[in-house]
Chain A
Amino acid sequence: MARNKTFPDFDTAVADIPDGAVIAIGGFAGPGTPYNLIAALARHGAKRLTCIANTTGGAHKPRMPDIGMLVENGQVAKVICAFTAATRASDVIPFTKYYEAGEVEAEIVPQGTLAERLRAAGAGIPAFYTPTAVGTELAEGRETREINGRRYLLEYALPVDYAFIRAARADAAGNLRFHRSQRNFNPLMAMAAKTTIVEVEEDILPPGAIDADDVHTPGLVVHRLIRVPPPPLGLWTRKREAAR
């Protein structure tokens, strides 16, 4: 009988996160973002965190829990993201003010390189070469190598202590299914993390209720499951509008 990985609430699920932890947070433009876990981490108060995600958030309304809020809370030492400014240059995201003031460190990483660095960490690959960013300021002073006549940039794996992700469906053994573009970084972050915490949109099913052929992310890399309560108690993906 598989162990039941269900936790009673979000605060219990994040209670052991220490100061200095490396936390990967899934989601892309809304779908798959673990809003409830981010909110629980803000309540928990762990500090000197490194946060890995596509963006720090906050460019749209209604504003949902995001890394920018953890930064505003004084909890974040560093972010590793594909955006350290808004997608549109004319927008201003909350993170930018703290970054420009030197209160938080940031490493900007091309999105595909970010995904592959997470994938590599989960796959036991320490580093890889990619053509992305060759010839740009991101490659300055870094190791490149010519392979079969093309120049590539060395990139290192990005291991993670905790992954926060969101799935549509889970069984109690931690097997996950994502709905539509909710998948994005989530399976990679689960693979890269020592501990994966998942907020689940549907009632958590008994083991076996998801056919083995239909599993997107295996329960092997999933440790804690929390069912998202209906609104207003739980936070759900909303239609987005530009914040300005």
Chain B
Amino acid sequence: MSWTRMQMAERLVQEFQDGWVVNLGVGMPTMIADVPMGDRDIIFHAENGVIGYGAVCAPGTEDLNLVNAGGQNVVLNPGASIVHHADSFALIRGGRMDVTVMGAYEVSANGDFANWKLKGAKGGGIGGAMDLAACAQRVFIMLEHRTRDGASRLLPRCSLPITAAGVVTLVVTDLGLFAPMGEGFALRDLAPGVTLEEVRAATACPIIA
């Protein structure tokens, strides 16, 4: 028993506050734009300068010149605006993002995370991740708790080259919701049917419950 990716997205969305500007990264975080926000007014920002976008377009209704950070054709919500890349990242560096939600390979108890380069690779993919990680008010990470080989992605320290140091606020995995606390992760919520013992067995550093 654990959370599906959509349930992970829904759990993170519970943390969003009314009026937040939310930047969504590529991959799993794009699902967040499909989660109902209730009566909260949330503005989605995409790094390519789209402010106030919404759901992915139904087939046949796309504007091919309008994409989110993941290259998906999306709709504009009423009140949307578009700026160029330098202004988009000025908004990011200027601290206007209440939160950025990103995928990652690893996250560590000291608040570092790694999502741009694999071990032994010559090339990598940074995109906007380093700017967002360094400058957003909060950094939420979505990732599977373990690799396909069963190794913990929650670590005392990252083994891969990091994207930013000491910035992670919250981590949602298929097993629960966590906050990095320096030497371990504080458990904030458990996925249904998952026990504390299972989480501890799946994690390579202390879980503070």
Give A137 to B116 CA distance when docked, in angstroms: 11
CB A241 to nearest CB in B, in angstroms, measures 10
Verify A131–B26 contact, CB threshold 8 A.
no
Q: Does A144 contact B (CB under 8 A)?
A: no
> If the complex has contacts A31-B64, A134-B134, are A184 and B128 also in contact, measured as CB distance less than 8 A?
no
Verify B123–A96 contact, CB threshold 8 A.
yes
> In chain A, residues 40-57, which have Cβ atoms closer than 8 Å to a Cβ of chain B?
54
The listed residue (A30, A88, A113, A133) touching B64 by CB distance below 8 A is A30
Chain A residues whose C-beta falls within 8 Å of the C-beta of B27 in the assembled complex: 87-88
The listed residue (A86, A96, A184) touching B84 by CB distance below 8 A is A184
Chain B residues whose C-beta falls within 8 Å of the C-beta of A87 in the assembled complex: 26-27, 70, 125, 127
> In chain A, residues 186-231, which have Cβ atoms closer than 8 Å to a Cβ of chain B?
186-188, 216
Q: Does B162 contact A (CB under 8 A)?
A: yes
Q: Does A39 contact B (CB under 8 A)?
A: no
Q: Does B192 contact A (CB under 8 A)?
A: no
> If the complex has contacts A181-B48, A237-B64, A237-B65, are A108 and B124 also in contact, measured as CB distance less than 8 A?
yes
Chain A residues whose C-beta falls within 8 Å of the C-beta of B135 in the assembled complex: 131-132
Selecting from A2-10, A65-73, A77-85, the interface stretch reads A77-85
The listed residue (A88, A136, A137, A188) touching B86 by CB distance below 8 A is A188
Q: Does A185 contact B (CB under 8 A)?
A: yes
> In chain A, residues 71-103, which have Cβ atoms closer than 8 Å to a Cβ of chain B?
82-89, 95-96, 99-100
Kindly count the residue-residue contacts between A and B in the assembled complex, taking CB atoms under 8 Å apart: 164
Chain B residues whose C-beta falls within 8 Å of the C-beta of A113 in the assembled complex: 130-131
The listed residue (A29, A115, A131) touching B134 by CB distance below 8 A is A131
Chain B residues whose C-beta falls within 8 Å of the C-beta of A134 in the assembled complex: 134, 165
The listed residue (B82, B118, B130) touching A180 by CB distance below 8 A is B82
Give A185 to B48 CA distance when docked, in angstroms: 8
Q: Does B201 contact A (CB under 8 A)?
A: no
The listed residue (A88, A95, A110, A118) touching B130 by CB distance below 8 A is A110
Verify A111–B82 contact, CB threshold 8 A.
no
Q: Does B71 contact A (CB under 8 A)?
A: yes
> If the complex has contacts A111-B131, A112-B89, are A185 and B123 also in contact, measured as CB distance less than 8 A?
no
The listed residue (B62, B76, B84, B134) touching A183 by CB distance below 8 A is B84
> In chain B, residues 71-105, which have Cβ atoms closer than 8 Å to a Cβ of chain A?
71, 73, 76, 82-86, 88-90, 92-93, 105
The listed residue (A138, A185, A240) touching B85 by CB distance below 8 A is A185
| Nearest neighbor of A238 in chain B, beta-carbon distance | B64
Chain A residues whose C-beta falls within 8 Å of the C-beta of B85 in the assembled complex: 28, 111-112, 115, 183-185, 188
Task: Give chain B's interface residues, CB within 8 Å of chain A.
Answer: 26-27, 46-50, 62-67, 69-71, 73, 76, 82-86, 88-90, 92-93, 105, 117-118, 121-131, 134-135, 161-166
Q: What are 10 A-B interface contacts by the 8 Å CB criterion? A: A29-B67, A30-B71, A89-B118, A111-B89, A112-B88, A112-B89, A113-B131, A181-B50, A181-B66, A181-B82
